[in-house]
């Protein structure tokens, strides 16, 4: 049977559902198509514009950070009683976005969802950049960011050690572990593709650069066996890790006694919210990328629809979290919790609460309709809406709970300053610029895992 | 290691099935110093050339145990021995609060051990290897499948091995210089 026939056979098996890879591809065409984006394709005007916008905001971010270091956190709108403001809102939002990358690369690998193979690479890159953006905020929020290393336990002349009973210290360990493991997982996944780029590149400089990074990978069967074991084990380790990271982030709130924070629903609902916003970001990246680079063969409607379904499911868990928060505020009969919920719905920030309910709960219900899951533009719009909604969720949790707690004499209001906005949009700029660089210099789709998806990759029975 | 004029003989195949069949036959013929090369992992291949297990899981286990023990003991030592602080009347050894960091350290050390252990067991980084001298070998990372019987194999005989490899209808058989 020639490859064409085998492809046809494979399609007839999965008839009725769009394929995860368009028919007619061979090992060679997959390799050439993905590696050409990096090696041969000219840097387009669209790339330059996109990168330019990201880079501009990155420069604004650096300016905002420089001014922050010069003047101190007073340039932000934070003050007692709202000491956390945008910084922690952005931190939780970004780190949540990162979670979808790990979910796609690790959890879906363990669940043998092979459709993940064409989106895991850039989802992992998204994780790295999102966690980088996230990690920046608590450090900038420290007041004296240059002393950030005081957070780590190391022998020092002050004879001082971190306080390990505090969730803020757990956070340091959770986020730094998460970043390290994500980086390692991503790089290990890249090695065989870097070897492909090394062997396909036409000039000495790129060959040396990719060759250096590929570390001499040659696709030996013995290497592949250890590689597969290590990759699977890393996925198995990353799975509980990703769940633990947002759990620990939610402990930052839930361990405190502030009304609206002190709740056992926080860990699962934070994790669901993280995956919800992460998939929204995956779609916001995947939809333009597949159009701009002509990758509809590899990132098919099936991927978009599956991601839409994950968003719908996690969105419903988040909605359940909102309902339970409200229910517990009433059922728990604690006057401060009751007031907190009343204040969310009717207080000075109530506009944002209702906007949150609209963007995060009501509008995403359109995903029940197949057309909204399969139409790229509509799905893109829903994803944008979800990302805004998830940001608002963190804003409501952080600001609304702090602004009116137990003592009316210490109530207050929080208004973001221009520096708050510059830092928020600047972090988006950092993310965008990093993503554009990534798709320009590294294969954004895992080439070797795509080869495995082809029907001709299976060893036929007569070999037995 | 005995001196060999060449590194080995390299046969090139078009499909994973042909490579697995060839690797199995070579193993049955008694060749041991050989390796197969493919652009993606093939489950049957390592088995075919006689590799039945790898030690990566052990490395990960050891890394995880060391990380977990180290993480917990670090917190115990700090909170109980070196720098005891009374926080809200909790005991110095308030172990439930030490679990998150212990867990994270377990994952961190297990993951790093897995990644670096895999590279170390594979002998990577190794920027130069005789196989890279073969001009065809660049296709091992694209769409071709290779079997290399190394000259260091005790049963290696240039003519016999070439005849043997050619009997399996490869696309080509070539000598790999050192």
DSSP state string for A12-64 = HHTTTS--SS-TT--HHHHHHHHHHHHHTS---HHHHHHHHHHHHHHHHHHHH
Measured between CB atoms, which of B15, B46, B107 is closest to A221? B46
Mutation target for B interface from A179, A457, A459, A460: give the one with most B CBs within 10 A.
Answer: A459
Given this model, what pLDDT does residue A324 score? 92
The rounded mean pLDDT for chain A is 88
A275 or B175: whose pLDDT is higher?
A: A275
- Chain B CB contacts of A456 below 8 Å: 15-16
Report residue A463 as tokens. Answer: 């070999």
Segment 129-188 of chain A within 8 Å of chain B by CB: 153, 159-165, 167, 169-170, 173-174, 177, 180-181, 184-185, 187-188
Helix (H) or strand (E) holding A307, with range, is helix A301-331
Q: Determine contact: A226 vs chain B, CB below 8 A.
A: yes
Contact between chains at A212 and B127 (C-beta distance less than 8 A): yes
Indicate the pLDDT class of residue A360, thresholds 50, 70 and 90: very high
CA-based nearest residue in chain B for residue A240: B107
Tell whether the model's pLDDT for residue B2 goes beyond 70.
no
Tell whether the model's pLDDT for residue A61 goes beyond 80.
yes
Give the whole-angstrom CA distance, residue A144 versus residue A422. 19
CA-based nearest residue in chain B for residue A30: B142
pTM as predicted: 0.89
Report residue A326 as tokens. Answer: 């409200």
How far is it between the farthest Cα atoms of chain A?
A: 81
A3-455 to CATH, choices 1.20.1630.10, 3.30.70.270, 2.60.120.10, 3.90.700.10: 1.20.1630.10
Given this model, what pLDDT does residue A368 score? 95
Mutation target for B interface from A219, A245, A464: give the one with most B CBs within 10 A.
Answer: A219
Tell whether the model's pLDDT for residue A351 goes beyond 90.
yes
- Chain A CB contacts of B101 below 8 Å: 164, 169-170, 173
At B3 the three-state DSSP class reads coil
Measured between CB atoms, which of B16, B107, B125 is closest to A177? B107
- Chain B CB contacts of A451 below 8 Å: 39-40, 143
Tell whether the model's pLDDT for residue B28 goes beyond 80.
yes
Distance from CA of B153 to the nearest CA of A (A): 17
Give the whole-angstrom CA distance, residue A386 versus residue A15. 32
Helix (H) or strand (E) holding B10, with range, is strand B6-13
């Amino acid at each position: 049977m020639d490859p064409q026939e085998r492809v046809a056979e494979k399609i007839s098996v999965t008839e009725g559902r769009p394929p995860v890879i368009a028919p007619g591809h061979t090992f060679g065409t997959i390799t050439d198509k993905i590696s050409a984006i990096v090696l041969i394709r000219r840097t387009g005007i669209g790339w330059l514009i996109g990168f330019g916008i990201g880079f501009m905001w990155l420069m604004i971010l650096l300016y905002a950070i420089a001014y922050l270091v010069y003047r101190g956190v007073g340039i932000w709108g934070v003050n007692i009683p709202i000491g956390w403001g945008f910084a922690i809102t952005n931190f939780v939002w970004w780190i949540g976005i990162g979670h979808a990358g790990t979910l796609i690369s690790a959890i879906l690998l363990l669940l043998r969802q092979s459709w993940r193979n064409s989106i895991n690479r850039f989802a992992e890159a998204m994780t790295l950049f999102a966690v980088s953006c996230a990690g920046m905020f608590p450090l900038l929020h420290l007041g004296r960011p240059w002393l950030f290393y005081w957070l780590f336990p190391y022998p020092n002349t002050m004879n001082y050690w971190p306080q390990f009973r505090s969730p803020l210290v757990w956070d340091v360990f959770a986020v730094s572990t998460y970043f390290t493991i994500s980086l390692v997982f991503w790089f290990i996944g890249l090695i065989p593709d870097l070897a492909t780029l090394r062997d396909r590149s036409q000039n000495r400089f790129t060959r040396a650069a990719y060759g250096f990074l590929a570390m001499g990978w040659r696709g030996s069967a013995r290497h592949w066996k250890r590689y597969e074991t290590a990759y699977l084990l890393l996925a198995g380790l990353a799975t509980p890790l990703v769940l633990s990271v947002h759990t620990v982030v939610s402990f930052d709130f839930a361990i405190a006694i502030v009304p609206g924070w002190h709740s056992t629903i926080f860990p699962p609902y934070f994790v669901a919210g993280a995956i919800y916003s992460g998939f929204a970001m995956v779609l916001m990246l995947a939809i333009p990328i597949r159009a701009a680079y002509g990758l509809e063969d590899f990132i098919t409607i099936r991927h978009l629809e599956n991601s839409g379904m994950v968003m719908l499911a996690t969105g419903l868990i988040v909605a359940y979290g909102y309902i339970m928060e409200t229910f517990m505020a009433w059922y728990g009969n604690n006057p401060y919790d009751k007031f907190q919920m009343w204040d969310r719905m009717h207080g000075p920030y109530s506009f944002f609460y209702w906007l949150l309910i609209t963007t995060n709960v009501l509008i995403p219900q359109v995903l029940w309709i197949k057309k909204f899951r399969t139409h790229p533009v509509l799905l893109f719009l829903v994803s944008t809406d979800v990302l805004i909604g998830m940001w608002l969720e963190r804003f409501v949790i952080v600001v609304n709970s702090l602004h009116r707690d137990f003592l009316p004499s210490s109530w207050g209001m929080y208004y973001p300053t221009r520096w708050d906005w510059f830092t928020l949009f600047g972090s988006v700029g950092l993310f965008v610029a990093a993503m554009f660089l990534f798709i320009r210099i590294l294969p954004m789709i895992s080439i070797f895992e795509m080869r495995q998806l082809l029907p001709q990759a299976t060893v036929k029975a007569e070999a037995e | 290691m005995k001196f060999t004029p060449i590194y080995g003989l390299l046969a090139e195949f078009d499909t994973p099935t042909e490579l697995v069949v060839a690797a199995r036959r070579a193993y049955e013929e008694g060749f041991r110093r050989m390796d197969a090369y493919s652009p993606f992992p093939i489950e049957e291949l390592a088995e075919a050339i006689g590799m039945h297990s790898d030690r990566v899981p052990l490395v990960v286990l050891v890394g995880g145990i060391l990380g977990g023990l180290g993480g917990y003991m670090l917190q115990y030592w700090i909170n109980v021995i070196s720098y005891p602080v009374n926080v809200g009347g909790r005991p110095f050894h308030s172990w439930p609060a030490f679990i998150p960091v212990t867990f994270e350290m377990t994952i961190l050390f297990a993951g790093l051990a897995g990644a670096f252990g895999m590279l170390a067991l594979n002998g990577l980084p190794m920027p130069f290897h005789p196989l890279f001298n073969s001009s065809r070998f660049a296709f091992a990372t694209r769409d071709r499948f290779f079997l290399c019987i190394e000259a260091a194999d005790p049963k290696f005989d240039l003519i016999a091995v070439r005849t043997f490899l050619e009997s399996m209808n490869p696309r080509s058989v070539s000598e790999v210089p050192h």
